[in-house]
Amino acid sequence: MISRLCPTFFADSAYDIDYAKLYGRGFRALIFDIDNTLVPHGADATPQAEDLLRNLRTMGFKVLLLSDNSRARVRQFNHSIHAPYIYDAHKPSPRAYKKAVQMMGVKPAETIVVGDQLFTDILGANRARLASVFVIYIGYGQPGWKGWRRLAENIVLAFIRRKRRNLNIPS
């Protein structure tokens, strides 16, 4: 069970990932969670998020937004970004992940998921047999964190870190 929650890589945030290194390792498509991964929960796209996604596409990545949130929420974030998206994804069901890979026209082995929740983003990636990067959620330590789930996540993370010390992408 624990191994199904284990991400391929850890990073401090979606903005601290060495994407050139991922490209060098053969990744060509990125599936992003939105809330607490790219922006605080419910927020509009920020210039930082817009820049990141534009730069990634310039680098040659395909980018897709995968959210459990509503269509209206995803469209609100996406209106300046214009990425393909899937809303109401029902993570950790692998179905939407597989559809995302299909929509981008890439191979599963070329695809990597970026998200802030082990029990949805990362578990879903593993079920769909996709690589993943687990990022510390935006707003860490602030009100609004999801009590028991975050607590359980922290326990799992401590376990994973003890088992596998060098999951960070070397820079």
Using CB under 5 A, count the residues that bind Mg ion: 5
Stretch that binds Mg ion, among 52-60, 72-80, 115-123, 155-163 (CB under 5 A): 115-123
112 DSSP 8-state letter: E
By CB under 5 A, name the one of 116, 126, 133, 135 that touches Mg ion.
116
Q: Which of 22, 30, 33, 135 binds Mg ion (CB under 5 A)?
A: 33
Q: Residue count of the chain, please give it.
A: 171
Give the range of 54-62, 76-84, 102-110, 111-119 binding Mg ion by CB under 5 A: 111-119
DSSP bridge pairs for 115: 134
Site for Mg ion in 73-92 (CB under 5 A): none
Instruction: Give CA torsion, residues 73, 76, 81, 87, to 10 deg.
Output: 20
Pick from 114, 103, 38: nearest CA to 77: 38
Residue pair 112/31 in contact by the 8 Å Cβ criterion: yes
Least distance CB 144 / Mg ion (angstroms)? 12
Stretch that binds Mg ion, among 10-18, 32-40, 126-134, 163-171 (CB under 5 A): 32-40
Quickly count helices (H) and strands (E) in the chain.
Answer: 6, 6
Shortest distance in whole angstroms from residue 14 CB to Mg ion:
10
- Identify whether the C-beta of residue 24 lies closer than 8 Å to the C-beta of residue 61: no
Report the residue from 5, 35, 56, 122 that binds Mg ion according to the rule CB under 5 A. Answer: 35
Q: Which residues bind Mg ion (CB under 5 A)?
A: 33, 35-37, 116
